[in-house]
Structure 1
Amino acid sequence: MKKKILAMMLSLVVVSSLALTACGKNSSSTNGDKKSTPKTLVYAQGADPRGLDPAFVDDGESAKVIVNVYEGLIKYKEGSTELEPGLAKSWEISSDGKEYTFKLREGVKFHDGTPFNADAAKINIERQLPPKATEDMPYASFTFGEVEKVEKVDDYTVKIKLKKPYTPFLANLAMSLAAPMVSPAALEKNNGNLNENPVGTGPFKFVSWKKGESITLEKNNEYWGDKAKLDKVVFKFTKENSVRASELMTGATDIMDGVDPNDVQKLKDNKINVITENGMNINYMAFNTERAPFNDPRLREAISYAINRDELVKFLYQGFAEVAKAPLPSFIPGHNDKVKSIEYNPEKAKQLLKEAGKENLSVKIITYSNPRPYNPVNGQKLAEAVQNYLSKVGVKATIDVYQWKEYKEKTKQGEGDILFYGWTGDNGDADNFMSLFDSKEIKSSLNVSKYNNPEVDKLLSKARQTPNGDERNNIYKEMQDVIAKDAPWVTISHAKDMIAASPKVKNFKIHPTGVVFLKNVDKE
Structure 2
Amino acid sequence: MRAPRTVIAAGVIAAMTIGVAGCAESDRDNGEDQSNATGGTFIFAGAGDPKNFDPIFNDDGESFRPIRQMYETLVTHKPGTAELQGGLAESWSNDPTGKIWTFKLRQGVTFHDGTTLDAAAVCANFDRWYNMKGEAAQSQMIYYADVFGGFAGNPDAVYDNCKAPDASTAVVTMKKYKGAFPGAFALTAFSIASPAAMKQHGSDTVTQNGDSFSYSAFANEHPTGTGAFTFGGWNKATGEITLNKNANYWGEKAKVDKVIIKIIKDENTRKQELRAGTVQAIDFPAPADRKALADEGYQVLERPAFNILYLGINQKNNPKLKDLRVRQAIAYALNRAQLVQTKGPGGSVVADQFLPESVLGYAPDVQKYDYSVDKAKQLLSEAGATGLTLNFYYPTEVSRPYMPNPQEIFTVLANDLQAAGIKVNGVPRPWNGGFKDDVQQFGKQDLHILGWTGDYNDPGNFVGTFFGRPKVEFGDDAMADMFTAVGKADATVDQEAKRTAFEQVNRDLAAKWLPAVPIWHAPPAIVTTKEVQGLVPSPLTAEEFDTVSLTK
Please say whether Structure 1 and Structure 2 have the same fold, judged by a TM-score greater than 0.5.
Answer: yes
- In the other structure, the counterpart of 2:76 is 75
Verify: 1:472 aligned to 2:498, yes or no: yes
Change (3 A) 1:452 1:517: farther
Distance 1:35 1:351 in 2: 65
CA contact (8 A) 2:345 2:522 kept: no
- In the other structure, the counterpart of 1:184 is 195
Q: Which moved more, 1:91-100 or 1:324-333?
A: 91-100
Alpha-carbon offset, residue 362 of structure 1: 1.0
- In the other structure, the counterpart of 1:505 is 532
1:129-174 CA-to-partner distances (Å, cap 9, x unmatched) read 1464712222112233311111121222111111112232111001
Distance 1:435 1:452 in 2: 17
Verify: 1:66 aligned to 2:70, yes or no: no
- In the other structure, the counterpart of 2:542 is 515
1:223-250 CA-to-partner distances (Å, cap 9, x unmatched) read 0011111110011111122211121122
Distance 1:297 1:490 in 2: 12
Aligned positions of 1:201-212 closer than 5 A: 201-211=226-236
Aligned pair partner of 1:424 in 414, 438, 453:
453
- In the other structure, the counterpart of 1:408 is 436
- In the other structure, the counterpart of 1:260 is 286
Aligned pair partner of 2:382 in 330, 351, 355:
355
Alpha-carbon offset, residue 398 of structure 1: 1.0
Alpha-carbon offset, residue 35 of structure 1: 9.4
Alpha-carbon offset, residue 92 of structure 1: 2.6
Paired positions, count: 487
Give SS of 1:55's match: helix
Change (3 A) 1:271 1:35: closer
Change (3 A) 1:386 1:37: closer
| Letter paired with 1:169 | F
Change (3 A) 1:108 1:168: same
CA contact (8 A) 2:298 2:527 kept: yes
| Letter paired with 2:492 | T
Alpha-carbon offset, residue 41 of structure 1: 0.4
Give SS of 1:128's match: helix
- In the other structure, the counterpart of 1:380 is 407
Distance 2:292 2:59 in 1: 33
1:5-53 CA-to-partner distances (Å, cap 9, x unmatched) read xxxxxxxxxxxxxxxxxxxxxxxxxxxxx99984100111210112211
Aligned pair partner of 2:167 in 155, 165, 182:
155
Distance 1:353 1:458 in 2: 29
Alpha-carbon offset, residue 316 of structure 1: 1.0
Change (3 A) 1:456 1:130: farther
TM-score norm. by structure 2 comes to 0.84
CA contact (8 A) 1:279 1:512 kept: yes
Aligned pair partner of 1:141 in 142, 145, 148:
145
- In the other structure, the counterpart of 1:13 is none
Q: Which moved more, 1:399-408 or 1:369-378?
A: 369-378
Distance 1:228 1:340 in 2: 49
Verify: 1:235 aligned to 2:253, yes or no: no
Distance 1:51 1:481 in 2: 38
Moved over 4 A (4+): 34-37, 447-452
| Letter paired with 1:255 | A
- In the other structure, the counterpart of 2:92 is 91
1:392-447 CA-to-partner distances (Å, cap 9, x unmatched) read 122110111111102111112111100110000011211100113335362xx6x5
Give SS of 2:57's match: coil
Change (3 A) 1:243 1:468: farther
Aligned-CA RMSD value: 2.0
| Letter paired with 2:536 | K
- In the other structure, the counterpart of 2:21 is none
Give SS of 2:92's match: strand
Give SS of 1:173's match: helix
Distance 1:410 1:492 in 2: 21
Gaps of at least 5 residues in structure 2 are 1-34, 150-157, 204-215
Aligned positions of 1:28-427 closer than 5 A: 38-130=39-131, 132=133, 134-136=137-139, 137-145=141-149, 146-177=158-189, 179-192=190-203, 193=216, 194-196=218-220, 197-211=222-236, 213-292=239-318, 293-317=320-344, 319-405=346-432, 406-411=434-439, 412-427=441-456
Distance 1:334 1:35 in 2: 43
Distance 1:224 1:316 in 2: 44
| Letter paired with 1:143 | V
CA contact (8 A) 1:283 1:374 kept: no
Give SS of 1:397's match: strand
Change (3 A) 1:231 1:450: farther
TM-score norm. by structure 1 comes to 0.89
Alpha-carbon offset, residue 57 of structure 1: 0.7
Alpha-carbon offset, residue 258 of structure 1: 1.7
Gaps of at least 5 residues in structure 1 are 1-33
Percent sequence identity over matched residues?
33
1:350-382 CA-to-partner distances (Å, cap 9, x unmatched) read 111112222111111110013433344321211
Give SS of 2:171's match: strand
Give SS of 2:226's match: coil
Alpha-carbon offset, residue 320 of structure 1: 4.0
| Letter paired with 1:113 | G
CA contact (8 A) 1:249 1:270 kept: no
Give SS of 2:526's match: strand
Distance 2:333 2:532 in 1: 45
Give SS of 1:519's match: helix
Distance 1:216 1:63 in 2: 14
Distance 2:259 2:187 in 1: 22
CA contact (8 A) 2:300 2:528 kept: yes
1:190-228 CA-to-partner distances (Å, cap 9, x unmatched) read 212432131100000011112271211010000001111
